[in-house]
Protein backbone atom coordinates (compact mmCIF):
# COMPACT_ATOMS: atom_id res chain seq x y z
CA UNK A 1 0.00 0.00 0.00
CA UNK A 2 1.50 3.33 -1.10
CA UNK A 3 0.54 5.34 1.96
CA UNK A 4 2.07 2.74 4.24
CA UNK A 5 5.35 2.81 2.26
CA UNK A 6 5.48 6.60 2.10
CA UNK A 7 4.91 7.00 5.82
CA UNK A 8 7.44 4.24 6.62
CA UNK A 9 10.07 5.95 4.49
CA UNK A 10 9.77 9.18 6.49
CA UNK A 11 9.42 7.74 9.96
CA UNK A 12 13.06 7.37 10.92
CA UNK A 13 13.72 11.02 10.12
CA UNK A 14 10.65 12.27 11.99
CA UNK A 15 11.36 10.12 15.03
CA UNK A 16 14.94 11.41 15.15
CA UNK A 17 13.77 15.04 14.97
CA UNK A 18 11.27 14.56 17.79
CA UNK A 19 13.70 12.57 19.96
CA UNK A 20 16.36 15.21 19.48
CA UNK A 21 13.96 17.99 20.52
CA UNK A 22 12.77 16.07 23.57
CA UNK A 23 16.18 14.86 24.70
CA UNK A 24 18.43 17.82 23.88
CA UNK A 25 15.95 20.70 24.33
CA UNK A 26 13.14 19.25 26.43
CA UNK A 27 13.38 22.05 29.00
CA UNK A 28 12.86 24.92 26.50
CA UNK A 29 9.66 26.76 27.45
CA UNK A 30 7.10 27.34 24.65
CA UNK A 31 4.01 28.62 26.53
CA UNK A 32 2.99 30.38 29.71
CA UNK A 33 -0.58 30.42 30.96
CA UNK A 34 -2.49 33.17 32.73
CA UNK A 35 -5.51 32.93 35.00
CA UNK A 36 -7.58 34.51 32.26
CA UNK A 37 -6.55 31.75 29.85
CA UNK A 38 -7.28 29.04 32.41
CA UNK A 39 -10.83 30.27 32.78
CA UNK A 40 -11.00 31.16 29.09
CA UNK A 41 -10.84 27.86 27.22
CA UNK A 42 -6.99 27.67 27.16
CA UNK A 43 -7.19 30.16 24.29
CA UNK A 44 -3.82 30.85 22.65
CA UNK A 45 -1.84 28.37 24.77
CA UNK A 46 0.20 25.90 22.72
CA UNK A 47 -0.63 22.45 24.08
CA UNK A 48 -0.01 20.16 21.14
CA UNK A 49 2.17 19.69 18.06
CA UNK A 50 0.64 19.15 14.62
CA UNK A 51 2.72 18.86 11.48
CA UNK A 52 -0.39 18.15 9.43
CA UNK A 53 -1.90 21.61 9.53
CA UNK A 54 -1.35 25.01 11.06
CA UNK A 55 -3.73 27.97 11.39
CA UNK A 56 -1.97 31.31 11.20
CA UNK A 57 -4.21 34.02 12.71
CA UNK A 58 -3.42 36.40 9.84
CA UNK A 59 -3.32 33.94 6.98
CA UNK A 60 -5.53 30.98 7.85
CA UNK A 61 -5.00 27.31 7.33
CA UNK A 62 -2.04 25.61 5.69
CA UNK A 63 -2.32 21.87 5.17
CA UNK A 64 1.13 20.28 5.17
CA UNK A 65 2.50 23.74 4.46
CA UNK A 66 0.18 24.55 1.54
CA UNK A 67 -2.45 27.31 1.49
CA UNK A 68 -6.01 26.63 0.30
CA UNK A 69 -5.45 28.15 -3.19
CA UNK A 70 -2.22 26.13 -3.55
CA UNK A 71 -3.99 22.92 -2.60
CA UNK A 72 -6.82 23.50 -5.04
CA UNK A 73 -4.25 24.08 -7.79
CA UNK A 74 -1.67 21.41 -6.99
CA UNK A 75 -3.76 18.35 -6.08
CA UNK A 76 -4.59 16.04 -9.02
CA UNK A 77 -8.06 16.11 -10.56
CA UNK A 78 -10.21 13.52 -12.30
CA UNK A 79 -10.55 14.14 -16.03
CA UNK A 80 -13.13 16.90 -16.58
CA UNK A 81 -13.33 17.87 -12.89
CA UNK A 82 -12.76 21.39 -11.65
CA UNK A 83 -11.90 20.37 -8.08
CA UNK A 84 -9.23 17.89 -6.92
CA UNK A 85 -9.79 14.31 -5.82
CA UNK A 86 -10.28 13.91 -2.08
CA UNK A 87 -7.97 10.87 -2.32
CA UNK A 88 -5.14 13.22 -3.28
CA UNK A 89 -5.82 15.38 -0.23
CA UNK A 90 -5.71 12.28 1.99
CA UNK A 91 -2.35 11.34 0.49
CA UNK A 92 -1.07 14.84 1.25
CA UNK A 93 -2.29 14.76 4.86
CA UNK A 94 -0.97 11.28 5.55
CA UNK A 95 2.21 11.13 3.46
CA UNK A 96 3.28 14.78 3.71
CA UNK A 97 3.82 15.27 -0.03
CA UNK A 98 1.81 16.52 -3.00
CA UNK A 99 0.58 13.32 -4.66
CA UNK A 100 0.94 12.41 -8.29
CA UNK A 101 -2.21 11.53 -10.19
CA UNK A 102 -1.39 7.83 -9.59
CA UNK A 103 -0.91 8.42 -5.85
CA UNK A 104 -4.33 10.05 -5.61
CA UNK A 105 -5.93 7.27 -7.64
CA UNK A 106 -4.23 4.67 -5.41
CA UNK A 107 -6.03 6.11 -2.37
CA UNK A 108 -9.30 6.29 -4.29
CA UNK A 109 -9.07 2.65 -5.35
CA UNK A 110 -8.05 1.53 -1.84
CA UNK A 111 -11.20 3.30 -0.62
CA UNK A 112 -13.39 1.55 -3.18
CA UNK A 113 -12.00 -1.84 -2.07
CA UNK A 114 -12.84 -1.09 1.56
CA UNK A 115 -16.20 0.61 1.05
CA UNK A 116 -18.60 -2.19 2.01
CA UNK A 117 -20.43 -1.17 5.17
CA UNK A 118 -21.66 -4.05 7.38
CA UNK A 119 -25.44 -4.32 7.49
CA UNK A 120 -25.60 -3.92 11.28
CA UNK A 121 -24.34 -0.33 10.87
CA UNK A 122 -27.38 0.52 8.75
CA UNK A 123 -29.56 -1.29 11.31
CA UNK A 124 -28.19 0.97 14.06
CA UNK A 125 -29.22 4.02 12.01
CA UNK A 126 -32.64 2.55 11.22
CA UNK A 127 -33.28 1.77 14.90
CA UNK A 128 -32.88 5.39 15.97
CA UNK A 129 -35.97 7.62 16.06
CA UNK A 130 -36.42 9.06 12.57
CA UNK A 131 -36.20 12.58 13.95
CA UNK A 132 -32.83 11.91 15.66
CA UNK A 133 -30.26 14.48 14.54
CA UNK A 134 -28.19 13.19 11.59
CA UNK A 135 -25.03 13.82 13.63
CA UNK A 136 -26.31 11.35 16.24
CA UNK A 137 -26.82 8.81 13.45
CA UNK A 138 -23.38 9.55 12.01
CA UNK A 139 -21.52 9.27 15.30
CA UNK A 140 -23.33 6.04 16.24
CA UNK A 141 -22.69 4.51 12.81
CA UNK A 142 -18.96 5.15 13.26
CA UNK A 143 -19.03 3.61 16.72
CA UNK A 144 -21.00 0.62 15.40
CA UNK A 145 -17.98 -0.26 13.21
CA UNK A 146 -15.61 -0.34 16.20
CA UNK A 147 -15.86 -4.12 16.67
CA UNK A 148 -13.94 -4.41 13.38
CA UNK A 149 -10.96 -2.42 14.60
CA UNK A 150 -7.78 -4.19 13.53
CA UNK A 151 -5.76 -2.08 15.97
CA UNK A 152 -7.92 -3.18 18.94
CA UNK A 153 -7.47 -6.85 17.98
CA UNK A 154 -3.73 -6.55 17.40
CA UNK A 155 -3.27 -4.61 20.64
CA UNK A 156 -4.96 -7.40 22.57
CA UNK A 157 -2.68 -9.93 20.92
CA UNK A 158 0.35 -7.82 21.90
CA UNK A 159 2.26 -5.69 19.39
CA UNK A 160 5.26 -3.34 19.80
CA UNK A 161 4.45 0.32 20.35
CA UNK A 162 6.39 1.24 17.21
CA UNK A 163 3.85 -0.73 15.15
CA UNK A 164 0.68 0.88 16.52
CA UNK A 165 0.51 3.38 13.68
CA UNK A 166 0.31 0.62 11.04
CA UNK A 167 -2.97 -0.63 12.45
CA UNK A 168 -4.27 2.87 13.01
CA UNK A 169 -3.63 3.43 9.30
CA UNK A 170 -5.37 0.17 8.47
CA UNK A 171 -8.46 1.23 10.46
CA UNK A 172 -8.29 4.78 9.12
CA UNK A 173 -8.43 3.63 5.52
CA UNK A 174 -11.42 1.41 6.23
CA UNK A 175 -13.27 4.07 8.20
CA UNK A 176 -12.69 6.84 5.66
CA UNK A 177 -13.55 4.51 2.74
CA UNK A 178 -17.02 4.01 4.18
CA UNK A 179 -17.88 7.62 5.01
CA UNK A 180 -19.53 8.50 1.66
CA UNK A 181 -21.70 5.37 1.91
CA UNK A 182 -22.69 6.12 5.51
CA UNK A 183 -23.28 9.83 4.86
CA UNK A 184 -25.42 9.05 1.81
CA UNK A 185 -27.32 6.33 3.70
CA UNK A 186 -28.24 8.79 6.45
CA UNK A 187 -29.34 11.38 3.88
CA UNK A 188 -31.44 8.93 1.89
CA UNK A 189 -32.90 7.32 5.01
CA UNK A 190 -33.92 10.64 6.52
CA UNK A 191 -34.87 12.74 3.54
CA UNK A 192 -35.36 10.56 0.43
CA UNK A 193 -37.76 7.94 1.76
CA UNK A 194 -34.98 5.34 1.88
CA UNK A 195 -34.16 5.46 -1.86
CA UNK A 196 -30.60 4.17 -1.69
CA UNK A 197 -28.21 4.23 -4.64
CA UNK A 198 -25.23 1.86 -4.71
CA UNK A 199 -21.67 3.19 -4.84
CA UNK A 200 -20.17 3.53 -8.33
CA UNK A 201 -16.65 2.00 -8.32
CA UNK A 202 -15.64 4.28 -11.20
CA UNK A 203 -16.21 7.48 -9.24
CA UNK A 204 -13.92 9.20 -6.76
CA UNK A 205 -14.83 9.71 -3.08
CA UNK A 206 -16.43 13.15 -3.43
CA UNK A 207 -18.32 12.40 -6.62
CA UNK A 208 -19.50 9.06 -5.23
CA UNK A 209 -21.15 10.77 -2.30
CA UNK A 210 -22.92 13.11 -4.73
CA UNK A 211 -23.94 10.14 -6.87
CA UNK A 212 -25.32 8.19 -3.89
CA UNK A 213 -27.58 11.06 -2.80
CA UNK A 214 -29.06 11.28 -6.28
CA UNK A 215 -26.76 13.92 -7.76
CA UNK A 216 -24.94 11.57 -10.13
CA UNK A 217 -25.73 13.73 -13.15
CA UNK A 218 -24.78 17.00 -11.55
CA UNK A 219 -21.09 17.57 -12.33
CA UNK A 220 -21.17 20.96 -10.61
CA UNK A 221 -22.43 19.47 -7.35
CA UNK A 222 -19.80 16.75 -7.56
CA UNK A 223 -17.17 19.48 -7.69
CA UNK A 224 -18.74 21.34 -4.80
CA UNK A 225 -18.74 18.09 -2.78
CA UNK A 226 -15.01 17.61 -3.46
CA UNK A 227 -14.30 21.23 -2.51
CA UNK A 228 -16.39 21.00 0.64
CA UNK A 229 -14.69 17.84 1.92
CA UNK A 230 -11.20 19.18 1.19
CA UNK A 231 -11.86 22.52 2.90
CA UNK A 232 -13.29 20.92 6.03
CA UNK A 233 -10.64 18.23 6.42
CA UNK A 234 -8.36 19.77 9.01
CA UNK A 235 -7.82 22.93 11.04
CA UNK A 236 -4.86 22.03 13.28
CA UNK A 237 -5.40 20.11 16.48
CA UNK A 238 -6.84 22.61 18.98
CA UNK A 239 -10.43 22.88 17.69
CA UNK A 240 -13.05 20.86 19.56
CA UNK A 241 -13.44 17.94 17.11
CA UNK A 242 -9.70 17.50 16.58
CA UNK A 243 -8.87 18.01 20.23
CA UNK A 244 -11.55 15.56 21.43
CA UNK A 245 -10.50 12.93 18.94
CA UNK A 246 -6.80 13.37 19.74
CA UNK A 247 -7.49 13.08 23.47
CA UNK A 248 -9.52 9.89 23.09
CA UNK A 249 -6.96 8.29 20.76
CA UNK A 250 -4.17 9.16 23.21
CA UNK A 251 -5.66 6.51 25.52
CA UNK A 252 -5.07 4.08 22.61
CA UNK A 253 -8.77 3.95 21.87
CA UNK A 254 -8.93 3.06 18.16
CA UNK A 255 -9.92 5.50 15.41
CA UNK A 256 -13.60 4.46 15.52
CA UNK A 257 -13.85 5.50 19.16
CA UNK A 258 -11.74 8.58 18.58
CA UNK A 259 -13.60 9.84 15.50
CA UNK A 260 -17.00 9.19 17.01
CA UNK A 261 -15.88 11.36 19.96
CA UNK A 262 -14.66 14.03 17.54
CA UNK A 263 -18.05 14.02 15.82
CA UNK A 264 -19.84 14.51 19.13
CA UNK A 265 -17.80 17.68 19.59
CA UNK A 266 -18.42 18.80 16.03
CA UNK A 267 -22.16 18.54 16.73
CA UNK A 268 -22.00 21.58 19.05
CA UNK A 269 -23.52 24.89 17.85
CA UNK A 270 -20.30 26.79 18.56
CA UNK A 271 -18.37 24.39 16.30
CA UNK A 272 -19.62 22.34 13.33
CA UNK A 273 -23.32 22.84 13.94
CA UNK A 274 -22.77 26.53 13.19
CA UNK A 275 -23.24 25.78 9.47
CA UNK A 276 -26.82 24.59 10.05
CA UNK A 277 -27.45 27.50 12.40
CA UNK A 278 -26.01 29.90 9.88
CA UNK A 279 -28.31 28.80 7.09
CA UNK A 280 -31.29 29.09 9.43
CA UNK A 281 -30.15 32.60 10.28
CA UNK A 282 -29.79 33.54 6.60
CA UNK A 283 -33.22 32.15 5.69
CA UNK A 284 -34.83 34.07 8.55
CA UNK A 285 -33.05 37.20 7.33
CA UNK A 286 -34.32 36.54 3.83
CA UNK A 287 -37.88 36.22 5.17
CA UNK A 288 -37.50 39.50 7.03
CA UNK A 289 -36.13 41.28 3.93
CA UNK A 290 -37.38 39.63 0.71
CA UNK A 291 -35.35 42.26 -1.20
CA UNK A 292 -31.71 42.40 -0.10
CA UNK A 293 -31.39 44.37 3.17
CA UNK A 294 -29.29 47.50 3.21
CA UNK A 295 -26.42 47.64 5.72
CA UNK A 296 -28.57 49.94 7.84
CA UNK A 297 -31.49 47.49 7.89
CA UNK A 298 -29.10 44.66 8.64
CA UNK A 299 -27.63 46.57 11.56
CA UNK A 300 -30.98 46.90 13.33
CA UNK A 301 -31.75 43.24 12.66
CA UNK A 302 -28.36 42.15 14.05
CA UNK A 303 -28.70 44.26 17.21
CA UNK A 304 -32.11 42.74 17.93
CA UNK A 305 -30.62 39.28 17.44
CA UNK A 306 -27.60 39.96 19.67
CA UNK A 307 -29.84 41.49 22.33
CA UNK A 308 -31.66 38.17 22.55
CA UNK A 309 -28.36 36.73 23.88
CA UNK A 310 -27.33 34.75 20.79
CA UNK A 311 -24.19 34.79 18.65
CA UNK A 312 -24.27 35.34 14.89
CA UNK A 313 -23.42 31.93 13.46
CA UNK A 314 -20.60 31.78 10.94
CA UNK A 315 -18.80 34.86 12.28
CA UNK A 316 -15.85 34.99 14.67
CA UNK A 317 -13.07 32.53 15.34
CA UNK A 318 -10.95 31.43 18.27
CA UNK A 319 -7.68 31.68 16.29
CA UNK A 320 -8.27 33.51 12.99
CA UNK A 321 -8.14 37.28 12.84
CA UNK A 322 -8.98 37.65 9.14
CA UNK A 323 -11.64 36.28 6.79
CA UNK A 324 -11.27 32.51 6.71
CA UNK A 325 -9.61 31.44 3.43
CA UNK A 326 -12.05 28.50 3.38
CA UNK A 327 -14.86 31.08 3.24
CA UNK A 328 -13.07 32.85 0.39
CA UNK A 329 -12.61 29.61 -1.60
CA UNK A 330 -16.35 28.98 -1.38
CA UNK A 331 -17.15 32.61 -2.15
CA UNK A 332 -15.08 32.31 -5.33
CA UNK A 333 -16.90 29.10 -6.21
CA UNK A 334 -20.25 30.84 -5.69
CA UNK A 335 -19.25 33.88 -7.77
CA UNK A 336 -18.37 31.56 -10.61
CA UNK A 337 -21.31 29.15 -10.42
CA UNK A 338 -24.25 30.96 -8.86
CA UNK A 339 -23.76 34.74 -9.04
CA UNK A 340 -27.53 35.31 -9.42
CA UNK A 341 -28.64 33.03 -6.60
CA UNK A 342 -30.52 35.22 -4.09
CA UNK A 343 -29.26 33.40 -1.02
CA UNK A 344 -25.68 33.59 -2.27
CA UNK A 345 -26.17 37.32 -2.87
CA UNK A 346 -27.42 37.63 0.70
CA UNK A 347 -24.24 35.90 1.95
CA UNK A 348 -22.13 38.47 0.10
CA UNK A 349 -24.24 41.36 1.39
CA UNK A 350 -23.90 40.10 4.98
CA UNK A 351 -20.14 39.75 4.44
CA UNK A 352 -20.07 43.37 3.27
CA UNK A 353 -21.94 44.79 6.27
CA UNK A 354 -21.63 42.46 9.27
CA UNK A 355 -17.94 42.85 10.22
CA UNK A 356 -18.46 46.60 10.74
CA UNK A 357 -21.52 45.97 12.89
CA UNK A 358 -19.78 43.34 15.03
CA UNK A 359 -16.84 45.67 15.57
CA UNK A 360 -19.28 48.25 16.99
CA UNK A 361 -20.54 45.61 19.43
CA UNK A 362 -16.98 45.73 20.79
CA UNK A 363 -16.67 42.18 22.13
CA UNK A 364 -15.79 39.88 19.26
CA UNK A 365 -12.05 39.47 18.55
CA UNK A 366 -12.53 38.49 14.91
CA UNK A 367 -15.54 40.08 13.20
CA UNK A 368 -14.97 38.21 9.92
CA UNK A 369 -16.71 35.12 8.54
CA UNK A 370 -15.47 31.59 9.13
CA UNK A 371 -16.02 28.54 6.91
CA UNK A 372 -19.59 28.05 8.16
CA UNK A 373 -20.89 31.44 6.99
CA UNK A 374 -21.29 30.25 3.43
CA UNK A 375 -21.16 26.49 3.05
CA UNK A 376 -24.87 25.92 3.75
CA UNK A 377 -25.89 28.50 1.14
CA UNK A 378 -23.89 26.68 -1.56
CA UNK A 379 -25.42 23.32 -0.61
CA UNK A 380 -28.86 24.94 -0.63
CA UNK A 381 -28.33 26.15 -4.18
CA UNK A 382 -27.88 22.56 -5.38
CA UNK A 383 -31.01 21.36 -3.59
CA UNK A 384 -29.47 20.02 -0.37
CA UNK A 385 -31.98 21.91 1.72
CA UNK A 386 -32.11 19.74 4.82
CA UNK A 387 -29.77 21.93 6.77
CA UNK A 388 -29.47 19.70 9.80
CA UNK A 389 -27.47 17.45 7.46
CA UNK A 390 -24.71 20.02 6.81
CA UNK A 391 -22.72 19.09 9.90
CA UNK A 392 -22.52 15.49 8.66
CA UNK A 393 -20.88 16.83 5.49
CA UNK A 394 -18.45 18.76 7.69
CA UNK A 395 -17.83 15.58 9.71
CA UNK A 396 -17.12 13.44 6.64
CA UNK A 397 -14.41 15.89 5.63
CA UNK A 398 -13.09 16.38 9.16
CA UNK A 399 -12.49 12.67 9.74
CA UNK A 400 -9.84 12.78 6.99
CA UNK A 401 -7.82 15.09 9.22
CA UNK A 402 -8.66 13.35 12.50
CA UNK A 403 -7.41 10.00 11.23
CA UNK A 404 -4.22 11.52 9.80
CA UNK A 405 -3.51 13.05 13.22
CA UNK A 406 -4.23 9.75 14.97
CA UNK A 407 -1.88 7.78 12.70
CA UNK A 408 0.97 10.26 13.11
CA UNK A 409 0.46 10.58 16.87
CA UNK A 410 0.98 6.83 17.19
CA UNK A 411 3.85 6.88 14.68
CA UNK A 412 5.65 9.47 16.80
CA UNK A 413 4.87 7.61 20.01
CA UNK A 414 2.83 10.37 21.65
CA UNK A 415 1.73 9.40 25.17
CA UNK A 416 -1.68 9.62 26.84
CA UNK A 417 -2.77 13.25 27.33
CA UNK A 418 -3.14 14.22 30.96
CA UNK A 419 -2.91 17.97 31.66
CA UNK A 420 -3.24 19.21 35.24
CA UNK A 421 -6.09 21.09 36.87
CA UNK A 422 -5.91 23.48 39.82
CA UNK A 423 -8.51 24.72 42.29
CA UNK A 424 -9.80 28.28 42.55
CA UNK A 425 -8.35 28.42 46.07
CA UNK A 426 -4.89 27.59 44.68
CA UNK A 427 -5.17 30.40 42.16
CA UNK A 428 -6.26 32.85 44.88
CA UNK A 429 -3.24 31.85 46.94
CA UNK A 430 -0.93 32.29 43.93
CA UNK A 431 -2.35 35.79 43.41
CA UNK A 432 -1.67 36.72 47.04
CA UNK A 433 1.92 35.46 46.78
CA UNK A 434 2.61 37.17 43.42
N1 LIG B 1 -21.68 36.93 17.34
C2 LIG B 1 -21.83 37.64 18.47
N3 LIG B 1 -20.94 37.66 19.47
C4 LIG B 1 -19.82 36.95 19.31
C5 LIG B 1 -19.59 36.19 18.15
C6 LIG B 1 -20.57 36.19 17.14
N7 LIG B 1 -20.44 35.46 16.03
N8 LIG B 1 -18.40 35.59 18.26
C9 LIG B 1 -17.90 35.93 19.45
N10 LIG B 1 -18.77 36.75 20.10
C11 LIG B 1 -18.65 37.25 21.44
C12 LIG B 1 -18.46 36.05 22.38
O13 LIG B 1 -19.71 35.44 22.72
C14 LIG B 1 -17.77 36.68 23.55
O15 LIG B 1 -18.74 37.34 24.33
P16 LIG B 1 -18.72 37.23 25.95
O17 LIG B 1 -17.41 37.85 26.34
O18 LIG B 1 -19.93 38.00 26.36
O19 LIG B 1 -18.78 35.76 26.26
C20 LIG B 1 -16.89 37.74 22.89
O21 LIG B 1 -17.47 38.00 21.60
C22 LIG B 1 -15.45 37.32 22.70
O23 LIG B 1 -15.42 36.11 21.97
P24 LIG B 1 -14.15 35.80 21.02
O25 LIG B 1 -12.94 35.75 21.88
O26 LIG B 1 -14.13 36.72 19.86
O27 LIG B 1 -14.50 34.36 20.44
P28 LIG B 1 -14.19 32.93 21.10
O29 LIG B 1 -12.79 32.56 20.78
O30 LIG B 1 -14.59 32.89 22.54
O31 LIG B 1 -15.21 32.00 20.32
C32 LIG B 1 -16.36 31.25 18.37
C33 LIG B 1 -15.01 31.69 18.94
C34 LIG B 1 -16.16 30.73 16.96
C35 LIG B 1 -16.91 30.08 19.25
C36 LIG B 1 -17.32 32.46 18.40
O37 LIG B 1 -16.81 33.48 17.55
C38 LIG B 1 -18.73 32.09 17.99
O39 LIG B 1 -19.53 31.67 18.84
N40 LIG B 1 -19.07 32.27 16.67
C41 LIG B 1 -20.36 31.86 16.17
C42 LIG B 1 -20.42 30.35 16.02
C43 LIG B 1 -19.56 29.87 14.88
O44 LIG B 1 -19.57 30.43 13.80
N45 LIG B 1 -18.83 28.77 15.12
C46 LIG B 1 -18.06 28.11 14.05
C47 LIG B 1 -16.55 28.26 14.21
C48 LIG B 1 -15.82 27.57 13.09
C49 LIG B 1 -15.46 26.14 13.41
O50 LIG B 1 -16.32 25.35 13.71
O51 LIG B 1 -14.29 25.78 13.26
Q: Which residues contact residue 202 at a Cβ distance below 8 angstroms, ignoring those fewer than 6 apart? A: none
Contact 407, 96 (CB under 8 A): no
The pLDDT of residue 321: 96
Residue 317 Cβ < 6 Å to ligand 1: yes
Strand pairing class (53-56; 60-63): antiparallel
Q: 424 pLDDT band (50/70/90 cuts)? A: very high
- Exposure pattern of 182-214 as b/e (b: 16+ CB <10 Å)? bbbbbbbbbbeeeeebebeeebbbbbbbbbbbb
The pLDDT of residue 131: 97
Using alpha carbons, select from 313, 391, 306 the residue that is nearest to residue 350. 313
CA distance 25 to 17: 11
Instruction: Tell me the mean pLDDT in the region 140-144.
Output: 98
Q: In angstroms, what is the span from residue 342 Cα to ligand 1's centroid?
A: 27
Looking at 294-383, list the stretches that DSSP marks H as alpha helix, in order from N- to C-terminal side. 295-307, 325-337, 342-361, 372-381
Q: What is the pLDDT of residues 208-241, one digit of tens each?
A: 999 999 999 999 999 999 999 999 999 999 999 9
Residue 276 Cβ < 6 Å to ligand 1: no
pLDDT > 90? residue 338: yes
- Distance (Å) of CA 336 to CA 83, 90, 150, 332, 333: 13, 26, 44, 6, 5
Q: Yes or no: is domain 274-381 CATH 3.40.630.30?
A: no
Q: How many CB atoms lie within 10 A of CB 427?
A: 13
Question: DSSP class of residue 369?
Answer: B
What are the beta bridge partners of residue 41?
A: none
Apex 388 CA angle, 246 and 356, nearest 5: 85
Residue 367 Cβ < 6 Å to ligand 1: no
384: left (phi over 0), alpha (psi -120 to 50) or beta: beta
Q: In angstroms, what is the span from residue 312 Cα to ligand 1's centroid?
A: 8
Atom of ligand 1 nearest to the CA of 239: 51
CA-based radius of gyration for the chain = 22
With the most atoms of ligand 1 within 8 angstroms of its CB, the residue from 358, 364, 367, 391 to mutate is 364
pLDDT > 80? residue 18: yes
Q: How many CB atoms lie within 10 A of CB 287?
A: 8
CA 389 to chain centre: 14
Q: In angstroms, what is the span from residue 314 Cα to ligand 1's centroid?
A: 9
Using alpha carbons, select from 370, 396, 358, 134 the residue that is nearest to residue 275. 370
For the chain, the average pLDDT equals 96
Atom of ligand 1 nearest to the CA of 318: 29
Contact 270, 87 (CB under 8 A): no
Residue 270 Cβ < 6 Å to ligand 1: yes
Q: 293 pLDDT band (50/70/90 cuts)? A: very high
Q: Which residues contact residue 283 at a Cβ distance below 8 angstroms, ignoring those fewer than 6 apart? A: 343
CA distance 133 to 35: 37
Residue 64 Cβ < 6 Å to ligand 1: no
Going by alpha carbons, the residue nearest to atom 21 of ligand 1 is 364
Q: How do the domains of the chain map onto residue ranges?
A: 274-381
Longest dimension (CA), the chain: 69
Q: In angstroms, what is the span from residue 224 Cα to ligand 1's centroid?
A: 27
Q: Which residues are catalytic?
A: 271, 317, 372
Contact 377, 316 (CB under 8 A): no
- Prediction pTM value: 0.96
Residue 273 Cβ < 6 Å to ligand 1: no
Question: DSSP class of residue 147?
Answer: G
Residue 363 Cβ < 6 Å to ligand 1: yes
Q: Quick check: helix, strand or coil at residue 272?
A: coil
Q: What is the pLDDT of residues 371-396, one digit of tens each?
A: 999 999 999 999 999 989 999 999 99
Q: How many CB atoms lie within 10 A of CB 64?
A: 19
CA distance 332 to 326: 10
Looking at 158-204, list the stretches that DSSP marks H as alpha helix, in order from N- to C-terminal side. 164-191
pLDDT > 90? residue 1: no
Q: How many CB atoms lie within 10 A of CB 131?
A: 7
Contact 323, 330 (CB under 8 A): no
Amino acid sequence: MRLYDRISAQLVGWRQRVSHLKEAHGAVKVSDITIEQLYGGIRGVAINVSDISYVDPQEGIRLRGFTVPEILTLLPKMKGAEMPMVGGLYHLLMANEIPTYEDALAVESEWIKRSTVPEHVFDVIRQLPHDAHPMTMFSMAILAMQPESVFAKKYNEGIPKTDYWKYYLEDSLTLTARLPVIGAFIYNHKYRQGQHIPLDPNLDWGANFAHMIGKGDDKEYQDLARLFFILHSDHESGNVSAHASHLVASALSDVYYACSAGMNGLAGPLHGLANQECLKWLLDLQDAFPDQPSCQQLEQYVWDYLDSGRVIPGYGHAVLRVTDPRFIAQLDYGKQHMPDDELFQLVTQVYECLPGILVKQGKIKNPFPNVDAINGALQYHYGIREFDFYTVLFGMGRILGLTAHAVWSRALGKPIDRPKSLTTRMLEEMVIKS
